[in-house]
A and B are shown apart, each in its own frame.
Chain A
Amino acid sequence: MMQVGKMTQRWEGKGAVTEPTWVRYLLVTAALAFLALFLLMPLAAVFVQALDKGWEAYLEALKEPDTISAIRLTLITAAVCVPLNLFFGIVASWAIAKFSFRGKSFLITLIDLPFSVSPVVSGLIYVLIFGLQGWLGPWLQTHDIKIIFAIPGIILATVFVTFPFVARELIPLMESQGREEEEAALTLGASGLQTFFRVTFPNIKWGILYGVILCNARAMGEFGAVSVVSGHVRGSTNTIPLQVEILYNEYNYAAAFAVASLLALLALVTLAIKTVSEWKMQQSISVAGKER
């Protein structure tokens, strides 16, 4: 997904091998119509419905105490999950991209695993471990520790669903950069940490940003897994997406969309940062390519 856009220029408007003009117009129109229907309309609908009752109602809905507490919980969750998975992603991609060992591609598949598990199943597995009927349930109850239907469960489920984001961005990036620069740093007397922070890190910083921003978007927006473990207690174990659900189910549509618009804004910011970091990564790869 990182190389998108690299060679586009070459194709645009080249004469010899292309389709008749009317075919081109037809195809572009069809594609844009499809995207308008499935992408732009939902996006527009969020904001239109959020402001359905005017700005004041919009702001009022956001100032609702339950909403504020949902926002706080979402921020806490992201603030715990993102650093954990960031650290893991960097460590794992160092081991995987800079060294070769047996079973490497199997390990990569295992890291990607949470992406292919249904969010509902991701939540369920934690219920099976920490829930009342679960492995640790009785022990947790006697010690009065609440994980399921409480904040720790929400964080655990979110860590699970956002687990691969940073690693899967960094592994291919670091692999494409090889390890000659690190070896050069070592021959020049740099220590392991100096090598990482002064040579490796500057080369992967845009990849890290890319991974972090996607990880963050998912952490703040996760619904299925969190819904299973949360318990839906208003004002205490509700994240923003769960708050959206509650408001929607109460037919309080304007408020639901007002809160949802926060998440839609987050998505737009995410896409913007993602596009920039993709572009920067491409630059660093094509520079490396030129050096070869």
Chain B
Amino acid sequence: MSIDIEGISKTFGGFVALDNVSLKVPSGELVALLGPSGSGKTSLLRIIAGLETPDSGRILFDGKEATKRQVQERQVGFVFQHYALFRHMTVFDNIAFGLTVKPKKIRPGKQEIRDKVNKLLKLIQLENLADRYPAQLSGGQRQRVALARALAVEPQVLLLDEPFGALDAKVRLELRRWLRRLHDEIHVTSVFVTHDQEEALEVADRIVVMNHGRIEQQGTPSEVYDHPATPFVYDFLGSVNLFHGRVHEGTAQMGGINLSSPEYALANDAPAVGYVRSHDIAIERQAGDPGAIKAEVRYLLSVGPLVRVDLLLPDGNRTIEVDLTREEAERLQLSIGEQVFARPRKMRVFVDDYQI
């Protein structure tokens, strides 16, 4: 089922949670709503579920108006951030709940419910724990039970609120790969909320980046990562270096680097900021290229597979961060205090007074 969100706004007291948000989620996709806390992503998810009512705007499921539909009638599966498992029910009863509250006429028989729950238990690989209570499960197990419970009613849409937020790093990694595989199997339209860019990049078909109640950008993970539409997106996805300079008639001058930025052909000596990801900077010994800046190696640090280099710019008080691969670092054999040249491989210029 596809979801259309049209001009949704929502305020809580004086706080604008969502400001005229429109979004289309095509049928069968797995979409991530990515943003910092307070960006409105959870409110949007709860509005899709019917757990909050928008102040204005419409929600359409498969092109049909659903804004006024009660939460019970929306047939959404919702996985809560803290799972919200019924603590007085066993794992089995939790999963069966949605089936047992159906009106008598359409409620499946006891045996049918049992078969269905057992199938789901198998899917989440917890067949042996059917009689446990939520308190007796680990975080990852609870998360999977919550997911099975949501899937039991065969929802048209699956909504997940920070699904991996409360888990430790290793379980989180396992579970998000599992979720991705699961989605490839069942293909239910899914939306999940996260503040973790890595999670969004790895799991989602599409990423919707939100900030201050608005959508900053949407696209495939590589679109969003490689071509950020706004400074905010640049900043939020991955670590980034800033160069301050000016743009004049389509040419930007950034701390000794000139580059063409045709999108600002009309700019007249406007202040601008250049954004470069730390792994998009090459370090060289020779000043072979006019696009390179002289800098001094300040600090070297191995971070897992990468080597982080802090470079001090010639003005003496600004530093930039560069991530080198191990190989690259081996080849260069940098030492602290050494003079090198840094060449941004890719820079995006925004004329804006946007500050990080």
Q: Is the CB of B82 within 8 A of A191?
A: no
Within 8 A of B (CB), among A224-242: none
Partner of B51, one of A181, A187, A292: A187
Q: Is the CB of B97 within 8 A of A188?
A: yes
| Proximity bits, B320-355, A CB within 8 Å = 1, else 0 | 000000000000000000000000000000000000
Q: How far is the CA of A188 from the CA of B74 in the complex (A)?
A: 9
Q: Which residues of B contact A194 (CB under 8 A)?
A: 101
| Proximity bits, A44-75, B CB within 8 Å = 1, else 0 | 00000000000000000000000000000000
Partner of A180, one of B84, B88, B89, B135: B84
Known: A180-B84, A181-B84, A203-B88. Is A187-B97 also a contact (CB below 8 A)? no
Q: Which residues of B contact A175 (CB under 8 A)?
A: none
Does B317 count as interface, using CB distance less than 8 angstroms? no
Within 8 A of B (CB), among A165-211: 180-181, 183-191, 194, 198-199, 202-203
Does B80 count as interface, using CB distance less than 8 angstroms? yes
Looking at the complex, which of A11-19, A105-113, A259-267, A283-291 is the stretch in contact with chain B? A283-291
Q: How far is the CA of A189 from the CA of B77 in the complex (A)?
A: 10
Q: Which residues of A contact B71 (CB under 8 A)?
A: 183, 186-187
Q: Which residues of A contact B87 (CB under 8 A)?
A: 181, 203, 284, 287-288, 291
Does B85 count as interface, using CB distance less than 8 angstroms? yes
Partner of A291, one of B83, B150, B152: B83
The dominant DSSP class at the B interface is: loop
Q: How far is the CA of A190 from the CA of B82 in the complex (A)?
A: 20
Q: How far is the CA of A191 from the CA of B108 in the complex (A)?
A: 17
Q: How far is the CA of A184 from the CA of B82 in the complex (A)?
A: 11
Q: Which residues of A contact B181 (CB under 8 A)?
A: none
Q: Is the CB of B72 within 8 A of A189?
A: yes
Q: Is the CB of B82 within 8 A of A185?
A: no
Q: How far is the CA of A188 from the CA of B107 in the complex (A)?
A: 13
Q: Which residues of B contact A198 (CB under 8 A)?
A: 86, 97, 101
Smallest CB gap from A181: residue in B: B84
Does B144 count as interface, using CB distance less than 8 angstroms? no
Q: Is the CB of B86 within 8 A of A199?
A: yes
Q: Is the CB of A185 within 8 A of B101?
A: yes
Q: How many residues of chain B are within 8 Å of chain A by beta carbon?
A: 32
Q: How far is the CA of A180 from the CA of B78 in the complex (A)?
A: 11
Q: Is the CB of B84 within 8 A of A188?
A: no
Q: Is the CB of A189 within 8 A of B101?
A: yes
Within 8 A of A (CB), among B52-110: 71-72, 74-78, 80, 82-89, 97-98, 101-102
Does B49 count as interface, using CB distance less than 8 angstroms? yes
Does B142 count as interface, using CB distance less than 8 angstroms? yes
Q: Is the CB of B86 within 8 A of A189?
A: no
Does B134 count as interface, using CB distance less than 8 angstroms? yes
- Residue of B74, B76, B86 with most chain A CB atoms under a 10 A cut-off: B86
| Proximity bits, B132-165, A CB within 8 Å = 1, else 0 | 0111000000100000011011000000000000
Least Cβ–Cβ distance between A235 and chain B, in angstroms: 47
Q: How far is the CA of A186 from the CA of B134 in the complex (A)?
A: 19
Least Cβ–Cβ distance between A181 and chain B, in angstroms: 5
Partner of B76, one of A181, A187, A191, A288: A187
Q: Is the CB of A184 within 8 A of B101?
A: no
Q: Which residues of B contact A185 (CB under 8 A)?
A: 86, 97, 101
Smallest CB gap from B49: residue in A: A187
Least Cβ–Cβ distance between A134 and chain B, in angstroms: 46
Least Cβ–Cβ distance between A103 and chain B, in angstroms: 15
Smallest CB gap from B89: residue in A: A202
Partner of A190, one of B76, B80, B97, B166: B97
Q: How far is the CA of A185 from the CA of B80 in the complex (A)?
A: 11
Q: How far is the CA of A291 from the CA of B145 in the complex (A)?
A: 13
Smallest CB gap from A202: residue in B: B88
Q: How far is the CA of A129 from the CA of B223 in the complex (A)?
A: 76
Least Cβ–Cβ distance between A257 and chain B, in angstroms: 44
Q: Which residues of B contact A288 (CB under 8 A)?
A: 87
Q: Which residues of B contact A (CB under 8 A)?
A: 49-51, 71-72, 74-78, 80, 82-89, 97-98, 101-102, 133-135, 142, 149-150, 152-153, 166
CB pairs A–B below 8 angstroms (28 shown): A180-B80, A180-B82, A181-B86, A183-B51, A183-B71, A184-B78, A184-B80, A184-B84, A184-B149, A185-B97, A187-B50, A187-B72, A187-B77, A188-B98, A188-B101, A188-B153, A190-B101, A191-B72, A191-B101, A198-B86, A198-B101, A202-B86, A202-B88, A202-B89, A284-B87, A291-B83, A291-B142, A292-B166
7 A-B pairs with least C-beta separation: A188-B98, A180-B84, A184-B84, A187-B78, A190-B101, A202-B88, A287-B135
